[in-house]
Amino acid sequence: MSTETEVQVPVEAPQPDETAAAAAPAAAAPESPSTPEPPKTAGTPLSKLTERLDEITKQAEHGEMWGIELSSDSEHIPSQVILQKFLRANNNDVTLAEKQLVSALEWRKTIDPVALVEEAFDRSKFDGLGFITTHKQEDGKETVITWNIYGSVKDKKATFRDVSEFVKWRAALMELSVQQLHLEDATELIPDKGADPYQMVQVHDYQSVSFFRMDADVKAATKETIQTLSMAYPELMSQKYFVNVPSIMSWMFGALKFFLAPATIKKFHPLASGASLSNELKTIADSLPSEYGGQGPSVKEGMTVILSEPTEEPQTNGAAADSDAEEAADEEDAEELAATRSKEEAPTLPELNDTTPKTADSPPTLDGPTSTSDEKTDFMSKGDQKGKEAGEIDFV
């Protein structure tokens, strides 16, 4: 009778130091401090500005922008697009974007540009000066163009002397232009590093206009217009075309290449002939107005603000009347280009001097925020805007 022998597999006993090492963590665990939570991921500039939106609208006592009631719901795309524009205009600096947004909302509360679209402006002062056209591309996308026809100015004293009235007219034209973008129907955000699909083209026509005359009324009106509209309508211009520009002025645009950022220069397109515009806007060339190389109706058939019958006959005085548009166009673009270059801290050309941007947190007036001399951190200041490429040249 055989007996089974139980075979035991020898197990190596742990060494004393290993046992101690294994036991040490268990013993020390209760005494060790709790593991700190990982740091929270910082939000994006857009999410941060969205979080501040309720406080912003409360501070401004106004929540409407470009006909849209702003919402702090991140799923409300129209609001997000508007916030993105204010961020882009300030290089994604949330603090500066907030200051500009507050100023824009306060200005809208005071002026009510939506209501201005329904008001009538004096035909003798503004007839034929501004139009809006919309052009459909083959892919179904639309291009909105605003036109400033400076040769239509009949009496610069009448048109520009009342700065408040002129700025209101420009705001009404701008508001009407923005309405054609249909931001309320936006379903996609602006790409972080791509082109903004919610922009329009601007055309300045200088037919029969001289660039060498100055006028105090024009100077005041254009400076106020630049400061107000750049504050209230950021990042709404994709390209700007200067058409029928005298060849003698080509030196000015050439000189700007040494002072402005490449992205800014790409937005400027001086053209000697209005008909050349169709070569620049090839996707909508056929539908452009006939004056600009297209086969569409005259620009004068485009959309414009409501105009009333003149309350009094415009003052004209021979050659002085013929120079109205000349001084208007000269001063407006000289001021605009000077403002752009000053934000980039570039040298100053004598002909493009004398622009003092206003601050974002100044109280609004009928024509925009008032100027202060000691504010160094607002959205228009030189230091904060050095190197700014997006949105630095906007509607004027």
Would you state the pLDDT for residue 330?
52
Give the DSSP letter string of 331-384. HHHHHHHHHHHHHTT----GGG----PPPTTSPEETTEEPP-SS--SSTT-HHH
Mean per-residue pLDDT for 222-228? 90
DSSP 8-class letter at 289: B
**CB within 8 Å of 80: residues ≥ 6 apart:** 46, 50, 74, 189
Instruction: Report how far residue 275's alpha carbon sits from residue 324's, in angstroms, rounded to the nearest whole number.
Output: 24
Give, in order, the Cα–Cα distances in Å from 392 to each of 5, 31, 209, 240, 382: 94, 59, 26, 12, 11
The whole-number pLDDT of residue 37 equals 52
Arithmetic mean of pLDDT, 279-290: 97
| pLDDT for the residue numbered 361 | 39
Q: Which whole number is the average pLDDT over 309-331?
A: 52
Per-residue confidence band for 246, with pLDDT thresholds at 50, 70 and 90: confident
Strands 237-243, 142-149: pairing is unpaired
pLDDT above 60: residue 390: no
Assign 335 a pLDDT band (cuts: 50, 70, 90). Answer: low
At residue 263, the 3 state secondary structure works out as helix
Strands 306-308, 120-122: pairing is parallel
pLDDT at 55 over 90: yes
Query: If you average pLDDT over residues 132-144, what whole number do you get?
Result: 95
**Whole-number pLDDT of residue 217:** 83
Q: Which residues contact 126 (CB under 8 A, 6 or more apart)?
A: 159, 169, 305, 307
Per-residue pLDDT band for 124 (boundaries 50, 70, 90) equals: very high
Q: What is the pLDDT confidence band of residue 336, given thresholds at 50, 70 and 90?
A: low
Domain architecture of the chain: domains with CATH: 45-108 (no CATH), 114-385 (3.40.525)
Q: How many helices (H) and strands (E) does the chain have?
A: 15, 11
Can you tell me the mean pLDDT for 33-57? Answer: 78
- What is the pLDDT of the chain when averaged over all its residues? 76
Q: Which two tokens stand for residue 66?
A: 């470009």
Q: What DSSP element (H or E) covers 245? A: none
Does residue 181 surpass a pLDDT of 50?
A: yes
Q: Which residue has the higher pLDDT, 362 or 218?
A: 218
How far apart are the C-alpha atoms of 185 and 102, rounded to whole Å? 24
* pLDDT score at 39: 45
pLDDT tens digits for 162-174? 999 999 999 999 9
Mean pLDDT is lowest, of 69-73, 107-111, 272-276, 345-349, for 345-349
DSSP string, 116-161: HTTSEEEHHHHTTTEEEEEEE-TTS-EEEEEEEEGGG-S-HHHHHS
Query: By mean pLDDT, which of 250-259, 260-269, 295-304, 331-340 is the weakest?
Result: 331-340
pLDDT at 352 exceeding the cut of 60: no
> Tokens 């740091």 appear where?
39
pLDDT, tens digit, 9 for 90 and up, residues 190-215: 998 889 999 999 999 988 776 666 67
pTM reported for the whole predicted model: 0.70
Residue with tokens 């979080």: 51
Higher per-residue confidence, 10 vs 256: 256
Higher-confidence residue: 318 or 52?
52
Q: What is the DSSP string of 178-222?
A: HHTT-GGG--SPPPSSS--SS-EEEEEE-TT--SS---HHHHHHH
Residue 30 has pLDDT above 90, yes or no: no
